[in-house]
């Protein structure tokens, strides 16, 4: 499984937000740029991370699945860093997912790797038996499942990760709407008290200031998530568009090959029937 990580995700830094920006409509989404329309900003240098070779270690309750994690550094002028790799457990990925979701809301967190594991000797034996027993149609079905179904399943899991990040943005937008409504309510209350109950004006002013601070904090959180998601979605769209295009091309090639094999099989029978 290969995952391209945008360079902006490596440190998840957020530029300082301007507190003097004009208040806009809450219904307007942030200006996401779509690669479908050819308007995406060029991606910055990225690193490519591969999670492969799931292996079940030990037996019984102490068993766990380990993976080989390799990465290819971003290529650039003068870059001479070679790919590197480590071995990590499934629990390491689970911990990292929780940390990213808690500390970097709006970041699209890739789905956890599959736990399916198989020893190399078992894989070789299964491959030999499959090749020995498969006919042309069966072989085509195997290739479709391996080369088309699996990538589509992985793409669906990636979309769930995007949905999770979008839900964080929606929650932040809801919190901002609620905070602004509270500010408006406190401002109206203060206006009603002026000139009528001056002894409660100071209290109302404190409540208004407190509500305004909460609204400012909610706005900062929302803007941070929206800004991060803007670059995240640009990278996600480009990566998935390229992957799905390759999958669909491979699907068309496999189907055409299967139809050709079927035609060759039926052609002698058709000629015999005509005779």
Q: What is the pLDDT of residues 64-105, one digit of tens each?
A: 888 888 887 766 555 555 667 889 888 898 998 898 888 888
Confidence of residue 1 (pLDDT cuts 50, 70, 90): very low
Q: What does each C-alpha distance from 23 to 32, 99, 223, 240, 262 come to in angstroms?
A: 19, 32, 12, 34, 65
Express each pLDDT in 109-166 by its tens digit: 888 887 765 555 555 555 555 555 455 555 666 666 666 677 777 777 877 888 888 8
Can you read off the two tokens belonging to residue 1? 């499984």
Confidence of residue 216 (pLDDT cuts 50, 70, 90): very high
| CA–CA gap between residue 41 and residue 43 (Å, rounded) | 6
| CA–CA gap between residue 234 and residue 229 (Å, rounded) | 8
pTM: 0.45
Burial 218-235 (b: 16+ CB within 10 A, else e): bbbbbbbbbbbbbbbbbb
């Amino acid at each position: 499984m290969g995952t391209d990580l945008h360079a902006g995700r490596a440190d998840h830094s957020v530029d300082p937000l301007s507190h003097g920006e004009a208040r806009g409509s809450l219904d307007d989404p942030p200006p996401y740029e779509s690669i479908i329309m050819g308007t995406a900003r060029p991606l910055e240098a990225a690193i490519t991370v591969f999670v492969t070779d799931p292996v079940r270690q030990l037996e019984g309750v102490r068993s766990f699945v380990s993976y080989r994690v390799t990465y290819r550094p971003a290529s650039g002028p003068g870059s001479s860093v070679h790919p590197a790799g480590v071995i990590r457990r499934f629990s390491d990925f689970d911990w990292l997912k929780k940390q990213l979701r808690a500390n970097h809301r709006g970041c699209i967190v890739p789905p956890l790797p599959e736990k399916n594991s198989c020893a190399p000797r078992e894989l070789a034996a299964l491959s030999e038996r499959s090749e020995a027993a498969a006919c042309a149609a069966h072989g085509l079905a195997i290739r479709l499942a391996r080369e088309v179904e699996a990538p589509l399943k992985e793409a669906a899991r990636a979309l769930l990760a995007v949905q999770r990040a979008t839900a964080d943005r929606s929650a932040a937008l809801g919190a901002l709407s609620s905070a602004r409504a509270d500010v408006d309510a406190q401002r109206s209350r203060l206006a009603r008290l002026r000139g009528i109950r001056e002894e409660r004006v100071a209290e109302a002013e404190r409540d208004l200031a407190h509500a305004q601070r909460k609204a400012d904090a909610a706005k900062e959180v929302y803007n941070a998530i929206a800004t991060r998601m803007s670059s995240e979605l640009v990278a996600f769209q480009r990566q998935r568009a390229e992957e799905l295009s390759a999958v669909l091309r491979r699907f068309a090639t496999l189907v055409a090959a299967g139809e050709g094999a079927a035609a060759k099989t039926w052609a002698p029978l058709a000629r015999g029937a005509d005779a």
